Amino acid sequence: MAADPRYRALMNVSDFDFDLPEELIALRPARPRDSARLLVVRGPEGKLEDRVITDLPHLLAAGDMLVANDTRVIRAALTGHRASREEGGPPIEIDVNLNRRLAPHSWSAFARPGKRLKPGDTIVFATGLAAIVISKDESGGVELGFSKSAAALDAAIDAAGEIPLPPYIALKRAPDAEDASDYQTLFARDGGSVAAPTAGLHFTPGLLDALTAAGVKRETVTLHVNAGTFLPVKVDRTEDHRMHAEFADISAETASAINATRASGKRCIPVGTTALRTLESAAANGQLSAFAADTSIFITPGYQFRVADGLLTNFHLPRSTLFMLVSAMMGLDVMKRAYAHAIAARYRFFSYGDACLLLPPKG
């Protein structure tokens, strides 16, 4: 009997810990993008190869398919003011990070200082852009209602906001004009993410041309990444963790193309964990098909992959759900050894860092 794809090994979160020197956290991307280093982890034994991103066309076979996430990062970091509750008092500055679109004119968000807000308050961000606090929770989360229609709201947010850098970069420096392009993939199409699908940041037009010349096919899916991707795992056991939900979408045409590729014996290689989670969510019933819904899929060792035959991904945080995912694909011992090699070899980590190409044996 085939293994149940829903099966998970019951593990301690501490099993996924490792020591990462802080200086290996990349604060800027490689230039050009495709000059980033690439650690290939191959086969059941996890053979390691030190390469660069421009080697990718030579590491894949003609007929293989890369599947990227075409979400676009919006300028989700907003600064506004709430009117003083004391007559004549100064307005209160409020920093807001949009998190997830709830409706055409409303977003969930994180606000600081959240304790200075209550339902019914108005936050004015810029001329013509304001929001009413609909509700709030104890953790600083708020639901904001905007008066503008979706298209006008998107334009106003784009004009007033800044690119929301990951917290481990934002603690070191402020976003600047370079991030507006650096933190956006060339696949970006549909706005809705507050964090980039960072494996896609390594691609350049020249690399795409080289992949096409090598016979490597491409498709895209959509998963709008929200700030939950940065939330730490606070439980001791993996089975007690609950993933955040994100909206994912794959068309029937894309699903058919991927199914045909795999049926021909070629590989489907997602570009990043968000693309992988989209594919695996859309194949929950065993066959990849069209999908447009929230997903909170949580992939840990013991998971049986339905669609992904490999993965191109960046290096992830210790104890994170993403390190659990790559360990599910290659094995925890293999990935700990790969990460130890990457640290010793001074690979650059996280969103603006270097990449791994995971190539398990095709079963």
The C-alpha atoms of residue 186 and residue 119 are separated, in whole angstroms, by: 39
Instruction: Say what the pLDDT of residue 8 is.
Output: 56
Mean pLDDT of 84-103: 89
Supply the angle between the helices 321-330 and 273-282 in degrees, to the nearest 10: 70
What six digits make up the tokens of 81?
Answer: 């003011």
Phi, then psi, of 104 in degrees rounded to 5: -55, -30
Q: Give the Cα separation of 135 and 168 in Å (integer).
A: 28
Query: What tens digit of pLDDT does each residue of 15-36 get?
Result: 999 999 999 999 999 999 999 9
pLDDT of residue 84: 81
Task: Place 147 in a pLDDT band, splitting at 50, 70 and 90.
Answer: confident
Pairing of strands 355-359, 37-42: parallel
Does residue 314 sit in helix, strand or coil? strand
**pLDDT above 70: residue 322:** yes
113, pLDDT greater than 80: yes
Give the pLDDT confidence score for residue 240 in this predicted structure.
93
Mean pLDDT along residues 59-72: 98
Quick check: 328 and 299 in contact, CB under 8 A? Answer: yes
Look at residue 344 and give its three-state secondary structure: helix
pTM of the model: 0.93
Arithmetic mean of pLDDT, 188-202: 96
Specify the pLDDT at position 231.
81
Q: Mean pLDDT across the chain, nearest whole number? A: 93
Whether 1 has a pLDDT exceeding 60, the answer reads no
Q: Given CA atoms 111, 152, 274, 349 in this order, what sign does their dihedral have? A: negative
Residue 17: Cβ within 10 Å count: 12
What would the mean pLDDT of 216-244 be, rounded to a whole number? 92
State the average pLDDT over residues 136-155: 87
Q: What is the pLDDT of residue 6?
A: 44
Asked if residue 3 has pLDDT above 70, the reply is no
% of the chain surpassing 70 pLDDT: 97
Does residue 40 contact residue 51 with C-beta atoms inside 8 Å? Answer: yes
Q: Which of 109-118, 179-188, 263-272 has the lowest mean pLDDT?
A: 109-118
Q: According to the model, what pLDDT value does residue 85 have?
A: 80
Taking Cα atoms as reference points, which of 140, 91, 90, 87 lies closest to residue 118?
140
Q: CA of 137: how far to CAs of 7, 118, 210, 220, 242, in Å?
A: 34, 10, 49, 35, 18
Given its phi and psi angles, is residue 354 left (phi above 0), alpha (psi -120 to 50 degrees) or beta?
A: beta
Concatenating the DSSP letter of every residue in 159-199 gives HH-B----HHHHTT----TTHHHHTS-TT--EEEESS--GG
For residue 150, the model assigns a pLDDT of 79
CA 314/CA 201 separation, integer angstroms: 10
DSSP per-residue letters across 74-131: ---EEEEEE--SSTTPPPEEEEEEEEEEEETTEEEEEEETGGG--TT-EEEEETTEEE
The pLDDT score that the predictor gives to residue 124 is: 94
Judge contact between 67 and 271, C-beta under 8 A: yes
Of the candidates 205, 223, 200, 241, which has an alpha carbon nearest to the alpha carbon of residue 323?
A: 241
Smallest Cα–Cα separation from 347: which of 41, 57, 15? Answer: 41
Give the ranges where the chain is alpha helix by DSSP (H). 56-59, 150-160, 167-170, 179-182, 205-213, 252-263, 273-282, 321-330, 332-344
pLDDT number for residue 2: 36
Domains of the chain, with CATH numbers?
A: 13-73+179-359 (3.40.1780.10), 77-161 (2.40.10.240)
CA distance 41 to 156: 44
